[in-house]
Amino acid sequence: MTDDDKRELRPASTEEIEQCLSFALRYDGRKRVRHADDAMARITAERLVQHLERSGYVILRKPAGAMPSTSGHRHPNAD
Phi, psi of 10 (to 5 degrees): -140, 155
Per-residue pLDDT band at 75 (split at 50, 70, 90): low
In angstroms, the CA 30 to CA 28 distance is: 6
Domain spans in the chain, listed from the N-terminal domain onward:
8-57
* Residue type, position 39, single letter: A
Which pLDDT belongs to residue 72?
Answer: 67
- Name which of 74, 60, 67, 68 is nearest 10 in CA terms: 60
> Would you state the pLDDT for residue 79?
56
HSE-up (13 A, CA, CB side) for residue 76:
0
How far apart are the C-alpha atoms of 58 and 17, rounded to whole Å? Answer: 11
Query: With bands split at pLDDT 50, 70 and 90, how would you rate the model's confidence at 71?
Result: low
Q: 15-67, pLDDT tens digit by residue?
A: 999 888 888 888 877 787 776 678 888 888 999 999 998 888 888 888 877 66
